[in-house]
Structure 1
Amino acid sequence: MYRNLILLLATYLVTLAASQTITPENTLTNPDPGAVLPRSGFQILPKRAPPKKTPPKVSPLQQECKDIKIKEGPSVSKGHSAQQLLTASCNVPGTNKKQYSELSLDRCLGWHKNNDGSGRLVAQKHGAGLSKAGGECSTCRYLNSNPNMLCYCAKVRDNEKTYMNPVTATWTGPVFYNLCKCSMSHIWTVF
């Protein structure tokens, strides 16, 4: 009895398999000999296009000025760090001319002291944020990133101090700032 049932089931499956037709829409052309083909009716979708890379936003400072750098200027007084000067060659509004400009960052940055003993740079006209009255910052660099300025400041928490300033022999720590905040409010009026 089981033998007849198995024979009947096998005959049914062979007949079913033989009656299936292969149409061009559900076959692969030149299939890989080792590939496992999908069942009929299975739809293979094309790969998605990679996401479009959006160019990074350019700040007004970068749009109007080229060769942006931060360099050391003269020291205000003995025992103090050298001034940190933002330098650039900028377009003169309304003309096709460029003008080289220097700006002491103390003229547009102030220092905000946090409750935990550390501090941060803030946009402030004549804020003296990098001087001894502010964060005692030196060795500033312009970065092509966001934030785009790095300074080493003495008035940070002790566990953040990683660099010895050779001029003042004090330990300093990194403080980052986005100059676009400053340029929107002060640099264009002072430059």
Structure 2
Amino acid sequence: MIRLAILAFLVASTASAQHSHTHTAEEKTLIAPLEPGQGAFAAIAEIVTILRADPDTDWNQVDIGALHQHLLDMDDLVKLAEVTSWDIPNGARFKIKTTGPGGGAVQRMVPAHAPVLAGETGWFSQVDIGGDEVTWTVTSPENPRAIRALGFIGLMAVGGHHQKHHLGMASGQMVH
């Protein structure tokens, strides 16, 4: 919400700046980049800011390295996972290789996310691990089209738990 307000302010300021090249001190203060850079770095910077602002942070438990590894896994999963998918009654099935550059991320993330997806959506979500692949089956009699449309990466992104999970991971409160 704050970003939208700042963005609206910046757009308005830019439009008015085309007519007048002077800015007030307030305008100069508010015109600043919002993102600290690359996505993983931005996520870490956001978590570090939250941890530093919280007087109850237990610095003995903080593990930014664990969050960093998880964010690398997320990147590998999105960019490198080798996925084959097909429609099944009421949903989809995915075979994801656990070998190759994205294989470790697949092994760590898919089995951990499957029950979270089920809990957040009520959909059947089952992972079977065997050989050099993970098989993930997701079904719902009410939502098969949504499951198929989301596909593997969309299903991995479902849920509002990611930010809380990242904060918990960095603060030593949870892992998956």
TM-score, length-normalised on structure 1? 0.30
Q: Give the strand-richer structure, 1 or 2.
A: 1
- Highest relative contact order (Cα 8 Å, sep 6+), 1 or 2? 2
Greater C-alpha Rg: 1
Q: Which has the higher helix share?
A: 2
User: Normalising to structure 2: TM-score of the pair?
Assistant: 0.31
